[in-house]
């Protein structure tokens, strides 16, 4: 490639190796992205090539040694440096990478510990679990050897179970859980505000120091705005009145955002608005900048990217757009440390880009909220949609036409509605008896609870691998899974047994760093061959 308009910055004096101007040399320079590389020109108007070693010198220092006009010198590039350095410093991690909190314990303690030991951040998937099960997981994580290993747990907005949300937040505060992934929030609740504001203190320089860190998963600007602003005064005042916060904590909370880590959730598995990341991320980055100016914040508010992150190109693209970190979800469900059954992981390993669909969410069924799930190999999405249609069309279980009732019992529940309700009663009697009291007064709520029996169990069948319910597996999944499978095809990561969460993460980051180097060379005018942009998975230490 000839670029006579590129200025030179000096000369490059050769060492043991001469510069190369062929495509293979450029591919090697991309693959060896941790090593510095010089971009040189062959003659005053010649083609551009790459060189390593040697010396970059001013124009007047030749001393008879062969030299080439120097266009640029690129320092070594490391995966650790792709994101915001403050993310690494604040959370004590090596890499700007997060494994998301896949619900019902699918993001296991094993997965979280593996990520922490590899210098990354993982969140335990507490959503959907009973409080004793969450406490058991916190005990395991807290007892893991290694000082200050970084980890967190999920706190999900539970409009149908506010007492459970409060109890989980209280558990995290009592047990010293320092990082929480706040998911599915449409508005702020006392539980998340209390967690974020507890432990706020002011140092000698007047800076507000926080003990607890909220990672707010958002997909809409109006929700992001709530987390980027200080907590509402009415919630803070209520928490002080009920002695859930001190007056000092509430006063300081009026000067800091609720969350300093905002995870932009694009087209993902589970709860999602199906927004494309290239459209959503810039909008929320600009919103962050406006909120910082508006409130006069003096330290970094980090914006990370999630949803559709399943290949090195996606990771590199997110960082190129300004993401402070990336978060993966769907691809980790197929990891060996995931709590999903072997059968479920095998189904995910065959998923293509369009093998996903939206289905009713068990936790917000009555509000019409949907989650994105795997379609290939399971009928859950279709059957879940059928349940919601029936719920919308009829006022109660007793009002269901005979043919509708019999079809649901035969094709979906495989039990009579009386048996389904009996099991539903036993569940809520142990978890939250107030739901049964409400069901006795509201027939539609009773119907919703009965239908949620199927939606809730469908996820657990996928976790336990119940063979006779394979067609009912609910597996949360976004299009990133299909992209990952396409990228992994023909490599060691094609085999589910090789898909450790750390190998997935390291390969995505290594590939993103290689692509970043390729883009650097492009901006210097080097003709980068397609082969340099094709990073293939390989086992990494």
- Do 187 and 232 fall within a single domain? yes
Position 439 in a domain? yes
Residues 262 and 145 in one domain: yes
- In angstroms, how far is CA 494 from the centroid of its own chain? 22
Cα 47 to Cα 38, 424, 443, 529, 532: the distances in Å are 14, 73, 77, 14, 18
- Could you list the residue range(s) of the whole structural domain that residue 443 is in? 345-472
Residues 66 and 86 in one domain: no
Question: How much of the chain is helix, strand and coil, in % rounded to 5?
Answer: 45, 15, 40
Q: Is residue 339 within 8 Å of residue 361, measured between CB atoms?
A: no
The count of domains in the chain is 3
Q: Are residues 299 and 381 in the same domain?
A: no
| Token pair listed for 469 | 């319910």
149 and 258 inside one domain: yes
Quote the pLDDT of residue 62: 57
Residue 99 is inside which H or E element, if any?
A: strand 97-99
Instruction: Name the stretches of the chain with pLDDT < 70.
Output: 1-6, 44-45, 59-64, 147
pTM over 0.75: yes
Q: Does residue 283 sit in the same domain as residue 409?
A: no
Same domain membership, residue 43 and residue 142:
no
What is the model's pLDDT at position 61? 54
Domain of residue 92, CATH code: 3.20.20.70
Residues 212 and 279 in one domain: yes
* Same-domain status, 70 and 121: no
User: From residue 348, how far is each of 66, 315, 480, 521 by CA, in Å?
Assistant: 56, 20, 11, 36
Question: Residue 3: what pLDDT?
Answer: 45
What share of the chain in percent tops pLDDT 70? 97
What local confidence, expressed as pLDDT, does residue 364 receive?
A: 87
pLDDT at 69: 85
Q: How far apart are CA 126 and CA 134, in angstroms?
A: 6
Task: Choose the final residue of a domain: 267, 298, 328.
Answer: 328
Residue 169 lies in a domain: yes
Assess whether 374 and 435 both reside in one domain: yes
Whole-number Å distance between alpha carbons of 435 and 416: 21
Structure tokens of 398? Answer: 């007793």
| Residue whose token pair is 């390989």 | 538
201 and 87 in a common domain: yes
221 neighbors 204 (Cβ within 8 angstroms): no
- The whole-angstrom distance between residue 361's C-alpha and the CA centroid of its chain comes to 19
Within a domain: 538: no
**Domain assignment present for 477:** no
Both 42 and 107 in one domain: the answer is no
* Residue carrying the six token digits 């508005």: 187
In a domain, 501, yes or no: no
């Amino acid at each position: 490639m000839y670029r006579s308009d590129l200025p030179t910055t000096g000369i490059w004096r050769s060492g043991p190796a001469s510069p190369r101007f062929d495509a293979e040399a450029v591919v090697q320079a991309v693959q060896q992205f941790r090593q510095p590389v010089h971009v040189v020109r062959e003659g005053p108007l010649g083609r551009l090539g790459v060189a390593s070693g040697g010396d970059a010198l001013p124009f007047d220092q030749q001393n008879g040694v062969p030299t080439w006009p120097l266009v640029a010198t690129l320092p070594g590039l490391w995966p650790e440096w792709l994101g915001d350095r403050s993310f690494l410093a604040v959370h004590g991690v090596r890499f700007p990478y997060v494994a998301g909190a896949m619900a019902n314990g699918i993001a296991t303690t094993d997965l979280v510990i593996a990520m922490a030991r590899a210098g990354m951040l993982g969140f335990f998937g507490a959503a959907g679990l009973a409080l004793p099960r969450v406490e058991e997981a916190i005990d395991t994580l807290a007892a893991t050897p290694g000082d200050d290993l970084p980890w967190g747990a999920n706190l999900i907005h539970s409009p149908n179970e506010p007492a459970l949300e409060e109890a989980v937040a209280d558990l995290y505060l009592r047990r010293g859980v320092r990082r929480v992934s706040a998911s599915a929030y449409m508005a702020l609740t006392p539980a998340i505000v209390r967690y974020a504001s507890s432990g706020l203190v002011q140092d000698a320089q007047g800076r507000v120091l926080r003990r607890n860190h909220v990672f707010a998963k958002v997909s809409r600007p109006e929700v992001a705005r709530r987390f980027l602003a200080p907590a509402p005064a009415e919630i803070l005042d209520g928490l002080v009145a009920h002695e859930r916060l001190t007056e000092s904590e509430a006063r300081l909370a009026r000067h800091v955002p609720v969350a300093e880590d905002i995870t932009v959730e694009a087209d993902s598995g589970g709860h999602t608005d199906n927004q494309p990341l290239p459209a959503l991320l810039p909008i929320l980055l600009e919103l962050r900048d406006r909120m910082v100016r508006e409130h006069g914040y003096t330290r970094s508010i980090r914006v990370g990217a999630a949803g559709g992150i399943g290949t090195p190109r996606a990771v590199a693209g997110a960082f190129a757009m300004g993401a402070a970190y990336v978060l993966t979800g769907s691809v980790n469900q197929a990891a060996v440390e995931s709590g999903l059954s072997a059968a479920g992981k095998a189904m995910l390993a065959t998923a293509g880009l369009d093998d996903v669909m939206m289905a009713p969410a068990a936790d917000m069924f009555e509000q019409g909220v949907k989650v994105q799930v795997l379609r290939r190999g399971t009928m859950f999405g279709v059957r879940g949609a059928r349940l919601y249609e029936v719920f919308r069309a009829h006022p109660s279980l007793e009002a269901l036409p005979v043919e509708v009732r019999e079809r649901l019992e035969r094709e979906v529940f495989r039990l009579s509605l009386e048996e389904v309700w009996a099991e539903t009663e036993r569940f809520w009697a142990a978890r939250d008896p107030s739901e049964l009291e409400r069901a006795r007064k509201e027939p539609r709520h009773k119907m919703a609870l009965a239908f949620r029996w199927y939606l809730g169990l469908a996820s657990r069948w996928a976790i336990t691998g119940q063979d006779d319910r394979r067609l009912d597996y609910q597996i949360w999944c976004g299009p990133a899974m299909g992209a990952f499978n396409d990228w992994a095809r023909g490599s060691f990561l094609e085999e589910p047994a090789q898909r450790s969460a750390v190998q997935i993460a390291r390969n995505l980051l290594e590939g993103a760093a290689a692509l970043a180097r390729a883009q650097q060379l492009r901006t210097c005018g080097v003709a980068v061959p397609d082969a340099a942009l094709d990073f293939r998975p390989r086992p990494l230490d």
